[in-house]
Structure 1
């Protein structure tokens, strides 16, 4: 609004002007004036509601990202500068509150911005946005703290947090990884405590729990009968607390795949040492091939096994040609060896046989 000068000294003397001669108006001039007046009235009819504030509309339910709700957060169509005007305080982190529509209308009117179209809404709901750091992130932060401060391997640890699903609530703009500060650990009780923090302790939560040492154990996926071979598909690896697992539990699929069950094993059972064993490659009473190999010499004869044996086992076999009993090592299915390290009498017996 321009400022009017109130200095009378600045005004010039007023000289009366001669009265102009007024000519009578014709019908054409009167018609054009009437049309102009009607146009002005029409423009005023459509623009006055907007000038009176009809372009301001109440928003629906909103989500607050900060502590304060500005005019622009609650009302659409507000001028940019007025939209930054703070009106209400947002609810606490993670909670929801309501604002009566009349309070927003009164606040806008007090700013001289006119009326607000509410669309019939009596109130609006305001939800406060929050970053929630849950149990998985808290556990990971504690594991990193235990590794740094106490040298524990986080891959072999699990932490049972005290309480029901502890969570750290923080503003959504507080970025970065959660860190565990002031970590303490008692090896005998396996108790751990720490302060879970975000952004230089801008948000923090003290937690505690029990450290559980974990290990991988081989678990049967199906029931396997005695004498039946175990395949890789029959075994799964599960991470279980070391304290509840058998000390001789198998820890890998490759350790048992291809071996034979020594007794009936139920589905879901943890495989222990002795539950499975390599298959017997030589059976008692079956025909075997006896081989004798040295650099430059390779002999083989037919024989019969006096006992069963697995790969690498020492068994007694009978040379079919000389009828002598030899001690041999199982080297494959139906195949034994009396190699150069065998006693001389065994080697000699092998040499007595015809070469194949």
Structure 2
């Protein structure tokens, strides 16, 4: 703005032109001032970058969580965290294999304490957290004990079954603890058959002490259904099971192959162990039924009608009657309703009285 100045009559000074301004004085900034300005600008920029992610991509609470480690990180609980902040531990995880909960407000408080602002909960009141674990069950434990019994005591693992004490012992280990379970410090009493040892994973990072009974087993044929006397045995009627050797009959059949196609010699209950003699090949000749008697020698083949005096299976020697001569002969069963007589003396006498070959 221009100013007009009136000169005093007694001063005797010249008047300055109206609107004339005093000259502007310019000073050069020092190095320290410039540095202070640069630092202030950087501070404002850094503050802007810290607040920008929260404004652009707010944190959102995840759903239920499966924890793989001892602690829960920010990234496991919320979406939208930076890479650096996602690795920040917030809560301790439950024990291996266990499940716990965290209230949503506690998560929000923990995040707020880090200066990351509010969290969108999506209406969740709490978050369930399950701790992941590798579960080494009875099957793996038994296998580890059997391997140790084989190497230390020379027992055949194929014929062993280890009945573990308790109700299904389970070794819980971190999911990243790989490798095969091993049995350490194993002891075995041959008289009582008791076995004990320490089941371990990775240099004893996870271990469980177990005990049980080592039982020798054998395979036996077991009937699936009840069979009446004389009933034929089908392959589907027999199953092969592993049973304790001490409790199995010494004459127990070891497979279904030997019994298939045979007939029960007595009533056999379902679930019973099939013993030798419980079944036998079926009779191919029945007592009182007609049979064909054959007589064969080199160059001679005769056949005649007969009647069986007794029943017999394949290969059995039975008594038959020649219908024409009414004589009794000893013959070998060679097929259904068919018997053979050889060139023995009684047979030769019988064959001489044959009326004619049967057609």
C-alpha distance in 2 between matches for 1:150 and 1:297: 67
Mean Cα deviation higher: 309-318 or 62-71: 309-318
Mean Cα deviation higher: 208-217 or 77-86: 208-217
Where in structure 2 are the equivalents of 1:90-129 lying within 5 Å? 90-119=93-122, 121-129=124-132
SS at match of 2:143: helix
Deviation at 1:151, TM superposition (A): 4.2
SS at match of 2:148: helix
* Aligned equivalent of 2:338: 335
SS at match of 1:140: helix
* Aligned equivalent of 1:225: 228
Distance 1:201 1:293, change over 3 A: farther
Deviation at 1:83, TM superposition (A): 1.1
C-alpha distance in 2 between matches for 1:71 and 1:144: 44
Whether the 8 Å CA contact 1:54–1:116 is kept in 2: the answer is: no
C-alpha distance in 2 between matches for 1:87 and 1:344: 105
* Aligned equivalent of 1:279: 282
* Aligned equivalent of 1:346: 347
Distance 1:233 1:109, change over 3 A: closer
* Aligned equivalent of 2:176: 173
Instruction: Give the length in aligned residue pairs.
Output: 314
Distance 1:337 1:89, change over 3 A: same
C-alpha distance in 1 between matches for 2:130 and 2:328: 89
Which 5+ residue runs of structure 2 have no aligned equivalent? 1-28, 35-50
Instruction: Please list the CA deviations of residues 96-150 of structure 1 after superposition, one character each: whole Å capped at 9, or x if unmatched.
Output: 2333444433443343333333445554332211111111222233233334444
Distance 1:304 1:163, change over 3 A: same
Whether the 8 Å CA contact 1:54–1:114 is kept in 2: the answer is: no
Where in structure 2 are the equivalents of 1:119-158 lying within 5 Å? 119=122, 121-158=124-161
SS at match of 1:180: strand
Whether the 8 Å CA contact 2:67–2:130 is kept in 1: the answer is: yes
Deviation at 1:178, TM superposition (A): 2.5
Q: Normalized against structure 1, the TM-score is what?
A: 0.74
Distance 1:233 1:61, change over 3 A: closer
Deviation at 1:308, TM superposition (A): 2.5
Whether the 8 Å CA contact 2:304–2:322 is kept in 1: the answer is: yes
Q: CA RMSD in A?
A: 3.3
Mean Cα deviation higher: 165-174 or 81-90: 81-90
Deviation at 1:172, TM superposition (A): 1.3
Mean Cα deviation higher: 109-118 or 88-97: 109-118
C-alpha distance in 1 between matches for 2:113 and 2:238: 74
Structure with bigger gyration radius: 2
* Aligned equivalent of 1:302: 305
SS at match of 2:243: strand
Whether the 8 Å CA contact 1:219–1:270 is kept in 2: the answer is: yes
* Aligned equivalent of 1:190: 193
C-alpha distance in 2 between matches for 1:11 and 1:49: 29
Deviation at 1:71, TM superposition (A): 1.6
* Aligned equivalent of 2:91: 88
SS at match of 2:304: strand
C-alpha distance in 2 between matches for 1:308 and 1:120: 86
* Aligned equivalent of 2:205: 202
* Aligned equivalent of 2:3: none
Distance 1:180 1:293, change over 3 A: farther
Whether the 8 Å CA contact 1:53–1:116 is kept in 2: the answer is: no
Q: Normalized against structure 2, the TM-score is what?
A: 0.74
Distance 1:112 1:244, change over 3 A: same
